[in-house]
């Protein structure tokens, strides 16, 4: 059985600073265990949930912003038994591993050296890890190296979108997946760049046509508006089953 565990559903600086929602990222349990975007509190939230991070096989980070990478080095230490057992794979864009312009690097050379391999993501270049295949997908964000992921594991294709503004290319690249995770950070009346608001999420879900869409990575205003309410509105408009994730929610597939 494949399980997706939301160790946090918050996004953006103010939700993160106040921890109004947790920011521990997504943990996928399966034949290989994958942790995506371990932001502040990931280690603590996961331990509280009962996750043994020494069993994590893949750590994936989408970009070099603190709500996505802050606990990455601690997760690496847990994966490798404090650095005494060389194992695991880190997958991340150039900004996280090497630095790019004003962004990163977000993982030290020391920590990168603890794992078996570090893979710098390239748009569309498939990463084959046996039971898991991961295809990085270009996002449209302030960190220009930001990548989302299409994760193909145990017969399920999971589309994990990172922070991005709307672009038609996203519909083409994510089309045909089973589960789509959409980072809904903004309220509809926001004019902030590089993030999605409800109308953007609606257009993406309607175009991609996943079997199920899960909203997450909520900013302050959209959280206050009501994320379950937004999910219902999107489902009504698109006809696609849409739910809003909640902290510690587990979704089995």
Task: Please name which of 92, 141, 95, 140 lies closest in space to residue 115, comparing C-alpha atoms.
Answer: 92
Domain total in the chain: 1
Q: What is the mean pLDDT of residues 2-14?
A: 96
Distance (Å, rounded) from C-alpha 204 to C-alpha 202?
Answer: 5
pLDDT digits (tens, 9 = 90+) for 98-125: 999 999 999 999 999 999 999 999 999 9
**252 inside domain:** no
- Read off the CATH number of the domain in which 55 is found: 3.60.15.10
Q: Model's pTM, two decimal places?
A: 0.97
Closest CA to 9 of 51, 50, 37: 37
The runs of H, that is alpha helices, within 52-180 are: 66-69, 72-79, 94-97, 109-112, 168-174
Q: Is residue 253 part of a domain?
A: no
* The pLDDT of residue 113: 98
Residue 1: predicted pLDDT:
83
The answer as to whether 251 is a domain residue is no
Structural domain span for residue 36: 3-246
Is 178 contained in some domain? yes
Query: What was the pLDDT predicted at 105?
Result: 97
Instruction: Quote the CA–CA distance of 59 and 157 in Å, as a whole number.
Output: 18
Residue 99 belongs to a domain: yes
């Amino acid at each position: 059985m494949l399980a997706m565990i939301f160790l946090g559903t918050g996004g953006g600086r103010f939700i993160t600073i106040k921890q109004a929602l947790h920011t521990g990222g997504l943990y996928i349990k399966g034949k290989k265990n994958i942790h995506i975007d371990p932001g502040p509190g990931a280690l603590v939230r996961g331990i509280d949930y009962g996750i043994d991070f020494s069993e994590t096989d893949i750590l994936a980070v989408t970009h070099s912003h603190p709500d996505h990478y802050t606990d990455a080095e601690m997760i690496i230490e847990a994966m490798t038994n404090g650095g005494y057992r060389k194992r695991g794979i880190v997958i991340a864009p150039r900004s996280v591993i090497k630095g790019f312009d004003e962004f990163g690097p977000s993982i030290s050379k020391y920590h990168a050296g603890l794992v078996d391999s570090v893979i710098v993501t390239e748009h569309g270049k498939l990463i084959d890890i046996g039971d898991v295949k991961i295809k990085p997908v270009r996002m449209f964000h302030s960190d220009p190296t930001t990548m989302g992921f299409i994760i193909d594991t145990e017969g399920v294709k999971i589309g994990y979108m990172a922070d991005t503004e709307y672009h038609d290319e996203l519909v083409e690249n994510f089309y045909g997946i089973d589960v789509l995770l959409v980072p809904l950070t903004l309220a509809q009346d926001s004019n902030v760049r590089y993030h999605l608001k409800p109308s953007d999420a609606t257009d993406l879900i309607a175009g991609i046509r996943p079997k199920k869409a899960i909203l997450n990575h909520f900013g302050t205003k959209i959280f206050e508006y009501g994320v379950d309410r937004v999910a219902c509105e999107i489902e009504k408009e698109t006809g696609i089953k849409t739910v809003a994730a909640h902290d510690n929610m587990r979704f089995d597939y």
